[in-house]
Structure formats: structure tokens, C-alpha cells
Amino acid sequence: MTAYDDLMAHQRETQALSQIAGRLGWDQETMMPRGAAPQRAEEMAALEGVLHARRTAPQVADWLEAVDAAALDDVGRANLRHIRRDTERASKVPAALAARIARVTSQAQGIWAEARADNDFKAFAPTLTEVLALKREEGQALAVGGDVYDAMLADYEPGTTGAELEAMFGALRPELSALRAAVLEAEAPAKLDHAFDEGAQMKLTRQLAKAFGYDMSNGRVDKAVHPFSSGSGLDVRITTRTSERDPFNCFYSTIHEVGHAAYEQNINRDYLLTPLGRGVSMGVHESQSRIYENQIGRSRAFTGWLFGQMKDAFGDFGVADEDTFYKIVNRVNDGFIRTEADELQYNLHVLLRFDLERALVSHDLQVADLEAAWNDRFEADFGYPVDKASNGVLQDVHWSVGLIGYFPTYSLGNVYAGCLNEAMRRAVPDLDSQLAQGDTSAATTWLGANLQTHGGLYEPRDIIEKASGVVPSEAPLLAYLKEKFSTLYNL
């Protein structure tokens, strides 16, 4: 066996153990008994210790040194790129710190959930302070004197800096705010006013998952407080949630998570349990979930089909026709919750979080002042006050589990989706006629062939440029949003 063969055999075992850790996380969100949290924290810490040791094992460096990169093909060189990057990052973080972060964030998740249920940020603040201190320590180790937030961001979007995102988001925010103001002055569509059986919602949501290409033989749909996708390769699971008065919460959360899951399921199977066998970044991942949810799932064509499915599932629910239904699906609503926000306002929720977490990392904002800072910024951006912590600073799980640097990838994913949508529409000019029949296969096949199958073969922005034919920018997203909402609201 060559050094490359030995390296990849070691890597496959490491990837397999990482998948097990992910499954423990899925279980913690869906089925784990509440009282098991302390034990689960120790299990997660133990696994993280094993993974850290494997990533930093001396023989990995020896194999990397011994491999002749010139003798490898593109796939081999891409594997080396990922392994070298992961090894260098892991080697900078002390094993004890990595295990402590795993333990504390596992415990913090339960503390956050209780504080959220009680609307009590002060009960969570000491834990968040500890998580933030540990993540800062990790970021400082990774940055080696450079920008700490950029080092954190690299875990989710390699090759992108906070300054680049600040410039992109700085271009987005005034345009979105102006469009939002114009929309809010116009006459709004009606709202849904009906009770929707939650069992029937789950039946239809599984139908939607299959309609978007989710392979249920390698996945499953469960319920959780915070919808998410977990796993890769042959075991990719999603969760959703139901609300009796808001079935869109269930349906579009499902379509969103199917976008993530389909990306993982459609990666070239030759890459299974290798560095290329997973989504290349969270921004690219979000491009898939957002284009599935919005440009496809909220389109006039697809909502026309969905209207018929809902009539079959629920009977008459008070909506007269497909056009009215389309307007209701895309209605710009007041609301506090990021995951429930309409397309127009969603990015404003993300930019708030991006600015606050950068301020937390740089010590410009203290945890004790975070709730007030959140509430002030929210009222300035949206025009009404936060009514309770679970609708504000406690609504998202991300900071409790140490995902600092993750939030901006949501808006970056929207930007990427805007680029991909333009290219997809050019490539499939009759797409709407197919979507009107509930057939998403032309769209999902195009995305699968042009982006998803490649997994981690290319760098994040490179795969978006390769698939869309343009250098990623916010311009296509803004053009799409302006055209859609100007038409919807007769601006």
C-alpha cells in the first residue's frame, strides 16, 4: 500500500466515527431521554477526544509528507487539500480544549432549551459566557495572531472573511430595507385562518420530501423543536415541526431540510467516508436548502400544485384559488422567528446575528448586554419590540452549541442560490410547466449534476461559479427579490 492508501484508510475510519458523533447529536434532539443529558455530554467529549487524536496523529503528518501529490488525480489532490487543512486546524487546538468544548456545548444545549422555555436569558447567560470563552480560546489558537472571527468562520465557509461578508451584507441591507418598506405600505394578502390536523401535516410533509427527491430508504423524517438535517452518504436524516395554525412552518421547514439532505445524498458515492463525501461548506449547503425552499418551493408554479395537495389533505381551508394561495405563501409578515421569516425579511434576521456575534467575539459586546443589544437592533430593523426572550435572543440553538461563525452562511447561501437560480432557469426554460405538475426533477437533477455530486471536490466559491457561470455576488438575489415582491405587491 502507498502512503496515500494508508492515509485514506485512516481517514475513512475517522469519518465513520464522526458520523457516529453526528448520530448522537441527532438522537439528542429527537429521542434521547431528557435525564440522559449529563451522560451524553461525557459521551460526546469522549468521542471528540478520539477524533482529535486521530486528526492529529503523528502518522497523518508522515503520510502527508510522503504522498506524491503530482501522481494523484484531481480527486486525490482534493482529498489531500481537505486532510491537510483539517489536520493543521486540529493540531492548533489542544486536545483538552476540544474535549471541553464538546462537553460544555452538549450540556449547554439543555440549559438553553430550559431557559428558552422559561423566557429567561439570565438563566442561560453564565453558560453562554463559558461557551463563548472556550470558543474564543479555540479561535485564538486557530488564528495564530490573525482575526479570531475569521478563524471561526473558516469552520463553516473556508476562504471567506468577515470583512468580505460585511461588504456583501452592507450592499444587501439597504436594498432589502427599502423594498421591505415599500411592501409594508402596500395592501397585504390575506392570512391563513384555519386549523390543520398535525397528523395530516406530517403525512403531506413526507410526500413533499419525496417530491423533492429525498430518498427515504436512506433517510427519515422526525419532529424536533428546531428543524435540522443530519448525516451524509447512506444515512441522512431530517426533522421538521408542526403548528396547527401554520402548516407552512412544517412544509417549508421540510423542503428546506430536504435541500440539505439531498445535497448529501447526491454526492458521488465514490466519495463515501472521505473528505469529499460531504457538503463543501455551510454557505453552499444553504444555497441548496434555500433554492429548494424558495425559488422552487415558493414559486407560482409549484404553489399551484401544492394548493391542490392541501385541498386533498385538509378539504376547504378558506383559500379561493391558486393565485390567492401563492400570495399567502409569500406574504410578508411581522414576526420574530428567523426560521419562519419570509424571503424578503429573512436576511435582515441573519445580518442582526452576524453583527452581534462579531461584537461578542471582539469583546465589543458583553454577554450581560446581549439581550438588550438584540432587542434594540431588532426594533430598529423591524419597527416593533421583542416581546419575550424565546422570540429574541433565545430563539436559536446555535450559540449554545458553539456554532459561532455559522449564522452568516445563511445569507451567503441565499446569495449563492440567487446565482444558481438564474443559471438553472436558463438551462431549464420550461421548468415552471413541470413544477406546476409537482415535478421538481428537472430542477433537482440540474442541481445534482452541476453542484451536489461534486461534494468537496472544489472550493466553495469555485463550485458556485462553476455551476452558475458567474462570480458570486448579491446582484442576482436582489434582482430576483425585487421582481418577485414588486409583482406580488403591485409596486
**What residue spans define the domains of the chain?**
3-146, 162-488
Average pLDDT (309-336) is 96
Give tens-digit pLDDT for 404-415: 999 999 999 999
Neighbours of 423 (CB within 10 A): 19
Would you state the pLDDT for residue 225? 78
Give tens-digit pLDDT for 51-73: 999 999 999 999 999 999 999 99
For 19, phi and psi rounded to 5 degrees?
A: -65, -35
How many degrees, rounded to 5, is the angle at CA 142 between CA 399 and CA 151? 55
Residue 257 a catalytic site member: yes
Would you state the pLDDT for residue 344? 96
Q: How many Å apart are CA 202 and CA 259, to the nearest integer?
A: 18
| The domain over range 162-488 is classified in CATH as 3.40.50.2000 | no
For 223, phi and psi rounded to 5 degrees?
A: -105, 145
Would you state the pLDDT for residue 41? 87
Of the residues 257, 357, 371, 474, only one is catalytic, namely 257
Cell of 184: 409594508
Q: How many Å apart are CA 471 and CA 409, to the nearest integer?
A: 17
Cell of 83: 486532510
CB contact at 8 A, 243 and 272: no
Would you state the pLDDT for residue 375? 98
Mean pLDDT value across the chain: 96
Q: How many Å apart are CA 228 and CA 256, to the nearest integer?
A: 9
Pairs from 335-339 (Cβ < 8 Å, separation ≥ 24):
336/378, 336/386, 336/387, 336/391, 336/392, 336/395, 337/391, 337/395, 338/395, 338/396, 338/410, 339/226, 339/227, 339/253
Q: Is the pLDDT of residue 443 over 90?
A: yes
What's the pLDDT band for 227 if we cut at 50, 70, 90? confident
C-alpha distances in Å from residue 362, one per residue of 149, 348, 351, 367, 399? 8, 22, 17, 12, 15
Would you state the pLDDT for residue 1? 81
Average pLDDT (206-215) is 97
DSSP state for residue 454 in the 8-state scheme: G
